[in-house]
Amino acid sequence: MTVDFSQLEKKLDIVFSNINLLKQALTHRSYLNENKSWPLGHNERLEFLGDAVLELSISNQLYKKYPQLPEGLLTSLRASLVNSNNLVKVAESLKLENFLLLSKGGKKDSDRSRTSFLANATEAVIGAIYLDQGFEGADKFINRIVMPDADDILNNKLFKDAKSLFQEISQERLGVTPIYQTLKAWGPDHDKHFVVGVFLAEEQIAEGEGISKHEAEQNAASQALKNKEWS
């Protein structure tokens, strides 16, 4: 498989001093199993680094951009910008999927796995940019690619996540706090999947699936709002 990473550099608007960092950021663990001669490692360490860089950059930019917002609202706004759904949008805007190195089986995986691959790759690319260009370079990239949605999220109150909303309404209407329980979990550490149920008292209202417990809980809460016809 031949991938022209210079095309991705153009999309990122960044010229790497060490192009191997970008290549590694797009190398999924499964690819190494079928390509023993590939000289680089997989992208999980870069993903770990990129996650931290992204959170710091977004925190710093939100703090400066919205001087009147309280801490709680800044936290919710940041969560909306760095969650997996938004990271997948970023990946799709950059067409990262065209450059992602996966095993043959990985390319055929479900949409849920695809979401995981793309969100993780986005963080790994940010980690690679940080190592190659320093925090300033990564910060500029994040400001250009991730931050533009902040005003829309804030103005349309999209930061209010389903889990918070479901708890608020259930406490107001029923005097009950929702409880979340993991019903199923499977997959290797780098590609975990969870099914979580949400309960009011002992009644299960809904369940949701996700690549983390947090995402599964959010999806369960979203489905619970629909099941209860609460808005």
DSSP code string of 112-171 = HHHHHHHHHHHHHHHHHHHHHHHHHHHHHHHHHHTGGGHHHHHHTTTTS-HHHHHHHHHH
Which of the following is catalytic: 47, 51, 132, 139? Answer: 51
pLDDT at 181 over 80: yes
Homologous superfamily assigned to 5-155: Ribonuclease III domain (1.10.1520.10)
pLDDT at 107 over 90: no
Q: Do 5-155 and 162-228 share a fold?
A: no
Which of the following is catalytic: 123, 132, 191, 217? Answer: 123
Distance, first Cα to last Cα, the chain:
48
- Note whether 219 and 212 are within 8 A (CB): no
Spatial CB neighbours of 3, under 8 Å, sequence gap ≥ 6: 23, 26, 98, 99, 101
Residue 105 confidence (pLDDT): 64
Question: pTM, whole model, 2 decimals?
Answer: 0.72
> pLDDT-derived band of residue 1, with 50, 70 and 90 as boundaries?
low
pLDDT at 33 over 90: no
123 assigned to active site: yes
- The CATH number, out of the four listed (1.10.760.10, 2.40.50.180, 3.30.160.20, 3.60.15.10), of the domain defined by the range 162-228: 3.30.160.20
pLDDT digits (tens, 9 = 90+) for 161-171: 788 888 888 98
> Of all residues in the chain, what percent carry a pLDDT higher than 90?
58
pLDDT digits (tens, 9 = 90+) for 121-141: 999 999 999 999 999 999 999
Residues 220/224/230/231 CA torsion (nearest 10 deg): 20
Q: Report how far residue 169's alpha carbon sits from residue 185's, in angstroms, rounded to the nearest whole number.
A: 28
- Note whether 30 and 15 are within 8 A (CB): no
Spatial CB neighbours of 2, under 8 Å, sequence gap ≥ 6: none
Residue 30 confidence (pLDDT): 86
Average pLDDT, the chain: 89
pLDDT at 112 over 60: no
pLDDT at 75 over 60: yes
Q: Report how far residue 228's alpha carbon sits from residue 205's, in angstroms, rounded to the nearest whole number.
A: 8
- The mean per-residue pLDDT over the stretch 223-229 comes to 90
202 assigned to active site: no
Domain map of the chain by residue range?
Answer: 5-155, 162-228
